[in-house]
Amino acid sequence: MATASTGRKARPLSPHLQIWRWGPAMAISILHRITGNGLAIVGLTTLLCWLGAIVGGPESYAKFAAAAVTIPGRVIFVGLSWAFFNHFASGLRHFVLDIGAGFELKENALWSILSILTGILFTAAFWAAILLR
Amino acid sequence: MGNGTSIGRVRGLGSAHSGAHHWLVQRFTAVGNVILTTWFVVSLLLLPNYSYITVHDWITKPVPATALGLMIVCVFWHARLGVQVMLEDYIHEAGSKFAVIAILNLLTFAGVAFGLLCVIRLALGA
């Protein structure tokens, strides 16, 4: 084999995303990673900016509030809220999987889809609660 | 699968017997996050508005300040573990992996330090 003679660096790789047929479990797994890392990088940066703006006083808080209602600001906040609720829902799904439950094919697919829908539903409910009061 | 060679274990390349610990702490911090971020989101929804005075008065109270401080530690800890897994999956070269995880550790400590400093300053009357 050609891979064997080139040494450690050319070890065979397992098939990646494009090989597999898409299913709910695969989608929620990838969404969990994307939303988790998105929250870690963008979410925590935003959290620290918000705290820093409050410590800075009314003027810096006004700047933060003004940036939050611009179009990019709205995209970031709606995106972060969805990422949070999606990661929360699929995180709870992980707790169930961790105890060894929910691995039967149909049940697994059902809870994968429900996790995704729960994330979207809670995001909508969150903004409805803020905007409709 | 065996436990790796002796030198592999020393370098942390084989079974270093630290995987289960990482996995468990990811879960412990996740449980903390469920409680603390739920408190955070519900609290935000219960605020009458998001003016400086309202938000400032809320954060400076002892219980919200304590919970926010705990949330910062727990969330950053959980995020650091999660980002580490992502980096380990996508960065294949050992030297680069070491470098990005070193940077990740520094950024995590910096983020937690800044967050806690902000909360403590607000709680003690900035």
Select from A40, A58, A126 the Cβ nearest to the Cβ of B79.
Answer: A40
User: In this predicted structure, what is the pLDDT of residue B13?
Assistant: 62
What is the per-residue DSSP string for chain A?
A: -HHHHT-GGGPPPPP-GGGSPP-HHHHHHHHHHHHHHHIIIIIHHHHHHHHHHHHH-HHHHHHHHHHHTSHHHHHHHHHHHHHHHHHHHHHHHHHHHHTT-S-SHHHHHHHHHHHHHHHHHHHHHHHHHHHT-
Q: Does residue B4 sit in helix, strand or coil?
A: coil
- For an interface test with A, give the residue of B42, B50, B52 to mutate (most A CBs within 10 A): B52
- State the nearest Cα–Cα gap between B53 and chain A, in angstroms: 8
User: In this predicted structure, what is the pLDDT of residue A12?
Assistant: 77
Residues 15-44 on B with a CB inside 8 Å of A are 27, 30, 33-34, 37, 41
Band of the pLDDT at B14, cuts 50, 70, 90?
A: low
Residues of B in contact with A62 (CB under 8 A): 52
Q: CB of A34 within 8 A of CB of A119?
A: no
User: In this predicted structure, what is the pLDDT of residue A4?
Assistant: 47
- State the nearest Cα–Cα gap between B120 and chain A, in angstroms: 10
Please check the confidence at residue B114 and state whether its pLDDT lies above 70.
yes
The residue of chain B with its CA nearest to that of A48 is: B115
- For an interface test with B, give the residue of A31, A42, A51 to mutate (most B CBs within 10 A): A51
Band of the pLDDT at A60, cuts 50, 70, 90?
A: very high
Q: How confident is the model over B23-38, as pLDDT tens digits?
A: 999 999 999 999 999 9
User: In this predicted structure, what is the pLDDT of residue B20?
Assistant: 82
Q: How confident is the model over A13-45, as pLDDT tens digits?
A: 777 777 788 899 999 999 999 999 999 999 999
CATH of A24-131, one of 1.20.1300.10, 2.40.50.100, 3.50.50.60, 2.40.30.10: 1.20.1300.10
Worst-scoring range by mean pLDDT, A83-92, B6-15, B72-81? B6-15
User: In this predicted structure, what is the pLDDT of residue B9?
Assistant: 66
ipTM score assigned to the predicted complex? 0.87
First-to-last alpha carbon distance for chain B, in angstroms, is 57
User: In this predicted structure, what is the pLDDT of residue B73?
Assistant: 98
**A120: which 2 tokens?**
């979207």
Q: How confident is the model over A100-116, as pLDDT tens digits?
A: 999 999 999 999 999 99
Contact status of B124 with chain A (Cβ, < 8 Å): no
User: In this predicted structure, what is the pLDDT of residue A5?
Assistant: 47
| Mean pLDDT score across all residues of chain B | 91
Rg, C-alpha atoms of chain A: 20
Q: How confident is the model over B41-92, as pLDDT tens digits?
A: 999 999 999 999 999 999 999 999 999 999 999 999 999 999 999 999 999 8
